[in-house]
C-alpha cells in the first residue's frame, strides 16, 4: 500500500492506494499534519511507502518524525518524469503542474493532453502526443475572483460560490455570480476553442477543487476527476521506481 500526500498552503490532501486503486481519501488542515498522518498509518498498517509533494510552506523537515516508521519518497522538480520539459523557464514550472502533466502522460499515452486544474488558481498545461510539455496558462481561480471583487472595491460583498440563474444579473449579487462563474466558464471555453483550432484531437482533463462544479456547465466533452493530482502522484512514483 502507498500513502500519497499533497501539501498545499492551507490544506493537505492525501490518499491510500492499493494496486493503483484509491482506497480512501483524507483532507485536513496543515497544522494537523502529524496527527492525521499517524492516524492513517495506524489505520492502514500495510502502507510501506509515503510519497509526498509540497506546493506550500511545509517541507521535508515536517516529515522527519516518520523516518523510522515508513519509507519516505519526496517528489521534486529534479525527480524522474515521463515527459520532456520544453518550458522556456523549466526551473519555475510548479511541481504540482509537473505531476499533473506526468499523470496525463502515464494515464493517456500517445495523445495530446490539456490538463485544467481548477483550484486556488486555474492552471492550463498542454502535453503533446510526443510527450513534450509545451506550456499553458495561469489564471485566477473561482474563489479568488469572488475575493478580488470584494477586496479591491469599497462596496461589493463577498459571496459564496453559486451558479448564476442567468447571464444577465438583475441585482448586484446576481451580477457578481454571473461575472465570477460565467467569466471563468467563458475563459475555459475560449481556451478550448483556441486549442481546437491548432490541434485536431486532444483529451481534456479537468481537476482541482472546483472541477465538479465547473464540469456540469462546460460544453466540451471532458474527463473530470477532482483527485487527478493524487492519482498522478501515485503514477509518478510508480514510473520512478520502474525507471530508476
Clarify whether residues 107 and 159 are in a common domain: yes
Domain extent, residue 191, equals: 84-234
Say yes or no: 93 and 46 in one domain.
no
pLDDT number for residue 205 = 96
User: Considering its fold, how many domains does the chain have in total?
Assistant: 2
- Tell me if residue 29 is catalytic: no
What are the pLDDT digits (tens) for 140-156? 999 999 999 999 999 99
- Indicate whether 140 belongs to any domain: yes
Q: Is 227 domain-assigned?
A: yes
Residue 19 falls in which region: left (phi positive, over 0), alpha (psi -120 to 50) or beta:
left
Segments of the chain with pLDDT less than 70: 9-10
Closest CA to 99 of 73, 80, 86, 121: 80
CATH of the domain at 207: 3.30.420.40
pLDDT of res. 22: 95
Residues 162-182: tens digit of each pLDDT = 999 899 999 999 999 999 999
Question: Angle between the 183-198 and 142-151 helix axes, to the nearest 10 degrees?
Answer: 130
Please tell me the pTM assigned to this model.
0.92
**Angle, to 10 degrees, between the axis of helix 95-107 and the axis of helix 228-243?**
80
Do both 116 and 223 map to the same domain?
yes
Give all strands (DSSP E) within 66-118, no chain letters: 71-74, 84-85, 113-118
Of 6, 29, 61, 96, which one is the catalytic site residue? Answer: 96
Amino acid at each position: 500500500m502507498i500513502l500519497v500526500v499533497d501539501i498545499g498552503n492551507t490544506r493537505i490532501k492525501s490518499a491510500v492506494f492499493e494496486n493503483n486503486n484509491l482506497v480512501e481519501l483524507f483532507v485536513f488542515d496543515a497544522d494537523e499534519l502529524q496527527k492525521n498522518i499517524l492516524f492513517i498509518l495506524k489505520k492502514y498498517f500495510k502502507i510501506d511507502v509515503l510519497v509526498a509533494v509540497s506546493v506550500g510552506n511545509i517541507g521535508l523537515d515536517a516529515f522527519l518524525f516518520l523516518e523510522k516508521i515508513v519509507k519516505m519518497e519526496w517528489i521534486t522538480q529534479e525527480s524522474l518524469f515521463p515527459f520532456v520539459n520544453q518550458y522556456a523557464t523549466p526551473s519555475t514550472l510548479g511541481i504540482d503542474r509537473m505531476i499533473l502533466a506526468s499523470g496525463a502522460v502515464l494515464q493517456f499515452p500517445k495523445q495530446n493532453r490539456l490538463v485544467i486544474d481548477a483550484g486556488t488558481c486555474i492552471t492550463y498545461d498542454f502535453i503533446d502526443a510526443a510527450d513534450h510539455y509545451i506550456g499553458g496558462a495561469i489564471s485566477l481561480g473561482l474563489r479568488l475572483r469572488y475575493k478580488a471583487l470584494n477586496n479591491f472595491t469599497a462596496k461589493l460583498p463577498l459571496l459564496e460560490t453559486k451558479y448564476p440563474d442567468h447571464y444577465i444579473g438583475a441585482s448586484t449579487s446576481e451580477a457578481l455570480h454571473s461575472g465570477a462563474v460565467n467569466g471563468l466558464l467563458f475563459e475555459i471555453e475560449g481556451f478550448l476553442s483556441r486549442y481546437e483550432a491548432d490541434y485536431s484531437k486532444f483529451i481534456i482533463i479537468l481537476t482541482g477543487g472546483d472541477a465538479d462544479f465547473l464540469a456540469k456547465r462546460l460544453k466540451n466533452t471532458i474527463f473530470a476527476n477532482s483527485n487527478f493530482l493524487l492519482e498522478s502522484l501515485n503514477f509518478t512514483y510508480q514510473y520512478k521506481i520502474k525507471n530508476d
